[in-house]
Amino acid sequence: MPIQTGTDTAKTRRTLSVGDQKVDYYSIAAATDAGLGDFSKLPASLKVVLENMLRFEDGGKTVSTDDIKAFAEWADKGGQNPREIAYRPARVLMQDFTGVPAVVDLAAMRDGIVALGGDAQKINPLNPVDLIIDHSVMIDEFGTPRAFQFNVDREYERNIERYQFLKWGQKAFRNFRVVPPGTGICHQVNLEYLAQTVWTDEDQDGKQVAYPDTLVGTDSHTTMVNGLAVLGWGVGGIEAEAAMLGQPISMLIPEVVGFKITGAMKEGVTATDLVLKVVAMLRKHGVVGKFVEFYGEGLDNMPLADRATIANMAPEYGATCGFFPIDQETLRYLEQTGRDKDRIALVEAYARENGMWRGKDYEPVYSSTLHLDLADVVPAISGPKRPQDHTPLDQSADAFLKMVRGVRFPDADDEDEAGWRAEGGAREPGYVPGGRHQGFAEGEVEGQDYKLHDGSIVIASITSCTNTSNPSVMMAAGLVARKARERGLTRKPWVKTSLAPGSQVVSEYLEAAGLQDDLDAIGFDLVGYGCTTCIGNSGPLEPEISKCIADNDLIAVSVLSGNRNFEGRISPDVRANYLASPPLVVAYALAGDMNIDLTRDPLGQDKDGNDVYLKDLWPTTQEVADLVGSVVTREMFIDKYGDVFKGDERWRSVEVTDSETYDWPESSTYIQNPPYFQGMSKKPGKIENIEGARILALLGDMITTDHISPAGSFRDTTPAGTYLTERGVTPREFNSYGSRRGNHEVMMRGTFANIRIRNEMLDDVEGGYTKGPDGQQKSIYDAAMEYAEQGTPLVVIGGVEYGAGSSRDWAAKGTNLLGVKAVIAESFERIHRSNLVGMGVIPFEFTDGDTRNTLNLTGDETISIEGLAGDFKAQAVVPCKITYADGTEKEIKLRARVDTEVEIDYLKNGGVLHYVLRDLAAA
Give phi and psi for 56, each to the nearest 5.
Answer: -110, 15
Query: What phi and psi, each to the nearest 5 degrees, are found at residue 201?
Result: -160, 165
Looking at the structure, do residues 74 and 95 belong to the same domain, yes or no?
no
pLDDT at position 384, please? 92
Domain span holding position 565? 392-635
On the CB side of 470, CA atoms within 13 Å amount to 33
Within-domain flag for 641: no
Q: What is d(CA 479, CA 499) in angstroms, rounded to the nearest whole number?
A: 15
Q: pLDDT value at position 413?
A: 59
Residues 138, 175, single domain; the answer is yes
Q: How far apart are CA 863 and CA 861, in angstroms?
A: 6
- Nearest of 840, 909, 665, 677 to residue 118 by alpha carbon: 677
Q: What's the CA gap between 223 and 227, in Å, rounded?
A: 8
pLDDT tens-digit readout, 493-517: 999 999 988 888 898 999 999 999 9
pLDDT at 417: 52
What end-to-end distance do the CA atoms of the chain give, in Å? 19
Based on the domain organization, do 595 and 719 belong to the same domain? no
Residue 515 lies in a domain: yes
| Helix, coil or strand: residue 356 | coil
Q: Choose the final residue of a domain: 352, 376, 400.
A: 376
Specify the CATH number for the domain of residue 241.
3.30.499.10
648 within some domain: no
Q: Is residue 510 part of a domain?
A: yes
Give dist(CA 453, CA 494) in Å, integer: 11
The verdict on 368 and 407 lying in the same domain is no
Buried b (16+ CB within 10 A) or exposed e, 402-440: ebbbeebbeebeeeebeebeeeebbbeeebbbeeeebeb
Pair 335, 239 in one domain: yes
Residue 216 and residue 127 share a domain: yes
Asked which of 604, 635, 666 is the last residue of a domain, the reply is 635
Residue 595 CA to chain centroid, in angstroms?
30
Q: Which amino acid appears at position 316 of this protein?
A: E
The H or E element spanning position 289 is none
Element holding 889 (H helix, E strand): strand 889-896
Specify if 653 maps to a domain. Answer: no
| 397 contacts 597 by C-beta, under 8 angstroms | yes
Say how many C-beta atoms besides its own lie within 10 A of residue 522's C-beta.
21
Same domain as 422, residue 279: no
Q: Considering only CA atoms, which of 847, 879, 874, 849 is closest in space to residue 863?
A: 879
Q: For the chain, give the longest Cα–Cα distance.
A: 83
Cβ–Cβ < 8 Å for 314, 322? yes
Instruction: Output the pLDDT for position 440.
Output: 40
Give me the DSSP letters along 367-402: SEEEEEEGGG---EEE-SS-TT-EEEGGGHHHHHHH
My answer on whether 119 and 67 are in the same domain is no
Where residue 787 sits, what CATH number does that domain have?
A: 3.20.19.10
Residue 868 burial (C-beta neighbours within 10 Å; 0-12, 13-18, 19+): buried
Distance CA 685, CA 908 (A): 5
> How many other CB atoms are there within 10 angstroms of residue 905's CB atom?
14
Answer yes or no: is 667 within a domain.
no
Question: Count of CB atoms within 10 A of residue 270's CB?
Answer: 28
**Which residues are CB-neighbours of 595 under 8 A, at least 6 positions away?**
397, 400, 401, 425, 426, 427, 454, 455
Same domain, 83 and 107: no
Where do the DSSP E strands lie in 714-849?
769-771, 777-779, 794-797, 820-825, 842-846
Please report the DSSP string for 642-698 in residue order: TTTTT--HHHHT------SS----TT-SS----STTTT--SS------EEEEEEEEE
Confidence at residue 64, expressed as pLDDT on a 0 to 100 scale: 94
Total of domains in the chain? 4
CA distance 379 to 145: 32
Question: Does residue 464 share a domain with residue 602?
Answer: yes
Tell me which residues of the chain have a pLDDT lower than 50.
418-446
Pairing relationship of beta strands 208-212 and 198-202 according to DSSP bridges: antiparallel
Give the bridge partners for 842, in sequence order.
Answer: 822
Residues comprising the chain, all counted:
923
What tens digit of pLDDT does each residue of 576-631 get?
Answer: 999 999 999 999 999 999 999 999 999 999 989 999 999 999 999 999 999 999 99
Instruction: Please report whether residue 721 resides in a domain.
Output: yes
387 lies in a domain?
Answer: no
The confidence score (pLDDT) of residue 329 equals: 97
Please indicate, yes or no, whether residues 817 and 829 belong to a single structural domain of this protein: yes
Same domain, 357 and 402: no
